[in-house]
Amino acid sequence: MNYFFNKNGPLISTYLIIAISFWLVFLIIIPQLYMFDLSFRPNIPPLLRGGPDDVYTLTHYKHFLFGSETSGESYNYVDVGVFRDTILIAVLITLINLCFCYPIAFYIAKVASPNTARLLIVSLIIPFWINELLRSFALRILFAGEGFINNVLLKLGLIDNGINFIAMDVALYTGLNYAYILLMIFPLYNAMETLDKNQLEAAEDLGASMLKTHFRIVIPHAKAGIASGCTMVFMLTAGALATPVVLSSPNTFWFTQLIYQWFNMNDNWPRGAAYSVVLLSVSVVFVLLMMKIFKVKIGEIVR
């Protein structure tokens, strides 16, 4: 400790300590702890807090799994269903993204000339400077009942009435896929770039097929990039709010929208907190799973 003060001088040491404690303790740890705590408390008006009614309870988590006591069903099919759908779709979209982006990343990293590569990268980044909401709106313009796609199909005479893409969730899934592609391409690209091109040429020289080359050489090398890309895409998709708000139909819900509902419409903050904890747990579990499967450390996952 003394060493620290000596090294930085009194002024800077104070700055460092204050800035870091504020961030770690006040902005990261305490809010999460408090939210976790809140998820176990009943939803009572502020005046009654701290009073005799304010005991720890599992009612919110129970509600998530089993539904309210008044409904006649044994499980909360709606909420759990939404949760299950969210997670499954997120996994699916992650995999689809991975398959879509792998060739592109490979092309930019290994096949394209340096100038082309730079141009491609820059052009990839441009769409993502634009807000996710606006991009989702662009898709909505495409998919709406009187949107671009329907208009074109109608004009070409291919269909008679408009296709309701939104109700079919096609719009939502496309939107989610569209939103986070960049986050899959870049980790893949970065990982692949460090692969020595000579290795690929050596493999070809030794007679390996393209499939074999990729499976045995490229993919193991890009392991960290794959893990990183998948983690980021899954987490952002599962936790997405902007795209579902714009592109989901009134009958489909994304899990985050459920949370939003509990918070802002039903005014049940503890319940919203409980659902948030569920979402958070899934994210944490996924990250740990990724780290285990791909044997990467946490530092390698972040951009």
Partner 1 sequence: MKSQQALNILLGIYIFIFFTYLFGPLVIMSITAFNSAEFPSVTPWECFSLRWFNEGKIAYDGQHLAGLATDWRLHEGLITSLKIGLGVVLLAVPIGLSAALVLTQVHSRLRTAFYSISIMPVLFPGVIIGISTVVLWDRIATMGGGGLVTQLGRNGVFLTILAQTCFISTYCFLIFVARLQRFDQTQEEAALDLGANQTQVFFKILIPYMMPAIASSCVIAFLASFENYNTTVFSILSDQTLTTVIASKVRLGISPAISSLALVIILITLTVTIIYEVLKRREDKKKKELEAEALFAQTLDSRLKKTKTNGLKIPKSIFVILFFVVVCIFGFNKMVEKGMYGSTCIAAAEKEKKSNFADQLKLLQKNAEIANQRSSENGDVGEKKEFDSIFGDPNLFKDFGGFDSKVQDQD
How far is 234 from 289, CA to CA, in rounded Å?
A: 12
Q: Helices 77-106 and 59-66 meet at what angle, rounded to 10?
A: 80
Q: Which of 269, 279, 301 is nearest to 41 (CA)?
A: 269
Q: Under rule CB under 8 A, which residues in 155-194 are in contact with partner 1?
A: 155, 161, 178, 181
Exactly one of 62, 261, 263, 268 binds partner 1 (CB under 8 A); which one? 263
Q: SS3 sequence, 61-111? A: HHHHHHCCCCCCCCCCHHHHHHHHHHHHHHHHHHHHHHHHHHHHHHHHHHH
Residue whose structure tokens are 């290795």: 199
Rule CB under 8 A: say whether 141 interacts with partner 1: yes
Residue whose structure tokens are 């003394």: 2
In the bound complex, what is the minimum distance in angstroms from residue 107's beta carbon to partner 1?
Answer: 5
- Our CB check for partner 1 shows the closer of 101 and 222 to be 101
- Our CB check for partner 1 shows the closer of 166 and 222 to be 166
Q: CA 181: distance to chain centroid? A: 11
Exactly one of 1, 126, 206, 265 binds partner 1 (CB under 8 A); which one? 126
Q: Under rule CB under 8 A, which residues in 16-35 are in contact with partner 1?
A: 16, 19-20, 22-24, 27-28, 30-32, 34-35
- Say how many C-beta atoms besides its own lie within 10 A of residue 154's C-beta: 15
How far is 163 from 152, CA to CA, in rounded Å?
A: 12
Exactly one of 43, 57, 107, 252 binds partner 1 (CB under 8 A); which one? 107
How far is 13 from 197, CA to CA, in rounded Å?
A: 47
Binding piece for partner 1, criterion CB under 8 A, among 5-13, 51-59, 79-87, 195-203: 5-13
Number of residues that bind partner 1 (CB under 8 A): 91
- Our CB check for partner 1 shows the closer of 20 and 75 to be 20
- Our CB check for partner 1 shows the closer of 222 and 286 to be 286
Exactly one of 2, 70, 115, 123 binds partner 1 (CB under 8 A); which one? 123
Q: Under rule CB under 8 A, which residues in 62-91 are in contact with partner 1?
A: none
